[in-house]
Amino acid sequence: MSANTNKVWRGRFSGESAQEVDVFNSSISFDYVLFEEDIAGSIAHAKMLGQQKIISSEDTQKIVEGLETILKDLKSGQLLFDEQAEDIHMFIEAELTNRIGDAGKRLHTGRSRNDQVALDLRLYVKKQIAEIKAKLIQFEQVIIQQAEQHLNTVMPGYTHLQIAQPITFAHQILAYAQMIARDIKRLDEASEHTDSMPLGNGALAGTTYPLDRQFVAEQLGFKEVTANSLDGVSDRDFVLDTAYALSMVMMHLSRLSEEIILWCTQEFHFVELDDAFATGSSIMPQKKNPDVAELVRGKTGRAYGNLQTLLTMMKGIPLAYNKDMQEDKEALFDSIRTVDIALSAMIPMVKTMQVNRERMRTAASKGFINATDCADYLTKKGVPFREAYEVIGSLVQACIEKNQTLEDVSLEIYQTLHPVFEADIYEAIDLDECVIKRSIEGGPAPEAVKKQISRLKNQIDL
């Protein structure tokens, strides 16, 4: 049994809480990361209490100074988190009272841990989103750099993982830049939903003190204050929006990882990872494994799991705060950490990845990648597309039997298939031509890809 003597709510109880309950109930082992936000929130609250003459200016000063030294000591490691504390909020308040005495006991006037934790979490989420956004922008820049090197690097485009039509490596990799650009927008939106200040909601029903909520919002950089006290303490939509946006980031990183893993195989050998971003085998001396990409793919499950945890945690909670909501933190923090470390490893891996132009080109010259262009040639000469498709379909079949490509077929044979064939067919099915002619907006032709790049650069203000 542990003592209740150090608990602020001990007055109501005659018995002591079980040690197992203390351990089960405590969140400081994970919510300690909120210490900077907790202190910033308390400083703003104390200043407002002083300004509104709810507490004296001397007490305000003591509280602010006390909190500032606690922050300094926590950052320097001079003050350690007390594992016995119920949570980060109780820990900091107790430490403050230890240091400055009675003034510390006035800090929580007009406030509840319910609006306090909502505030801390919102401040934390806003900061973390900004950091992840900065990394996503860096990733976009790295992708753009790779694309600029490979505007003319022809490679096969796939559907069903079967060779489909020729594209360039620039075009392929920029598809991921587009995904990342949307991820950034999603995170912006999550940040916007987070940008509402909950202090003043109290435990659930607001407060009778004349708090100046706008002042606190301004001090802490929020664009508005929450509109309903019940919702304000129990809204975790912003956590879910963030967890969803982060799941999408992981899904995109995972798709790219899967491609990189394939491209690293002997069979593809489209890319070569820098030694710094590959690992060896304990038994097979020839191995160079794309572990980073595999781990990113593997860790994606965490983000999805966290999203599911949060959705399920919230679905049955009656208004307003319930302790279930303490469970929001580990899931959210894990998603943030996962995306952060995944990006940190992937950005330099993609930056240093060597692209094997010859292998890509060789792969693109197989698999009748220009069959569509061959059919289009006929169509442009007036043959209905379905008829053209059929002619080329049987030509491909014949070529497979003879182990030939469309380039190997003689003009005489072409003309027996259809009289409109002329010598310019060879230009029409030339690999580079097939790419260059796809100059439609959004297409793989170098000219179109350059436009795509400048559009992306404009978006991220490069």
DSSP for 47-102? HHHHHTTSS-HHHHHHHHHHHHHHHHHHHHTSS---TTSSSHHHHHHHHHHHHHTH
Name 298's Cβ contacts closer than 8 Å, sequence gap at least 6: none
- Residues in contact with ligand ARG, shown as a per-residue x/- string from 14 to 53 under the rule CB under 6 A: -------------x---x----------------------
Q: How far is the CB of 98 from ligand ARG (least distance, A)?
A: 20
What residues pair up with 289 in beta bridges, in sequence order?
279
Give yes or no for a contact between 140 and 343, defined as CB atoms under 8 angstroms apart.
Answer: no
Nearer to ligand ARG, 93 or 241 (CB): 93
Nearer to ligand ARG, 330 or 430 (CB): 330
φ, ψ at 55 (rounded to 5°): -125, 165
State yes or no: residue 322 binds ligand ARG (CB under 6 A): no
- Residues in contact with ligand ARG, shown as a per-residue x/- string from 87 to 126 under the rule CB under 6 A: x-------------------------xx--x---------
For 355, the token pair is: 């692209």
Per annotation, catalytic residue among 14, 160, 282, 410: 160
Nearer to ligand ARG, 115 or 140 (CB): 115
Q: Is 193 a catalytic residue?
A: no
Q: How far is the CB of 28 from ligand ARG (least distance, A)?
A: 8
Of 214, 326, 352, 372, the residue at the interface with ligand ARG (CB under 6 A) is 326
State yes or no: residue 169 binds ligand ARG (CB under 6 A): no
Among 182, 178, 172, which residue's Cα sits nearest to residue 146? 172
Angle in degrees, CA 336, 251, 296, rounded to 5: 70
Nearer to ligand ARG, 32 or 277 (CB): 32
Of 85, 119, 220, 325, the residue at the interface with ligand ARG (CB under 6 A) is 325
Nearer to ligand ARG, 37 or 140 (CB): 37
Local structure of residue 18 (DSSP, 8 states): P
Nearer to ligand ARG, 54 or 88 (CB): 88
Count how many Cα atoms sit within 13 Å of the Cα of residue 252 in the half-sphere of its side chain: 23
Span 431-460, contacts to ligand ARG by CB under 6 A: none
d(CA 20, CA 27): 13
Integer angstrom CA distances of residue 69 from 47, 74, 77, 224, 375:
16, 8, 12, 29, 76
Q: Is 160 a catalytic residue?
A: yes
**Cis upstream peptide for 181 (omega within 30°):** no
d(CA 92, CA 47): 17
State yes or no: residue 321 binds ligand ARG (CB under 6 A): yes
Nearer to ligand ARG, 118 or 369 (CB): 118
Per annotation, catalytic residue among 57, 281, 344, 394: 281
Q: How far is the CB of 22 from ligand ARG (least distance, A)?
A: 13
Angle in degrees, CA 158, 184, 222, rounded to 5: 165
d(CA 161, CA 315): 39
Span 59-88, contacts to ligand ARG by CB under 6 A: 87
State yes or no: residue 138 binds ligand ARG (CB under 6 A): no
Q: How far is the CB of 38 from ligand ARG (least distance, A)?
A: 10
Q: What amino acid positions are annotated as catalytic residues? A: 160, 281
| Residues within the interface to ligand ARG (CB under 6 A) | 27, 31, 87, 113-114, 117, 321, 323, 325-326
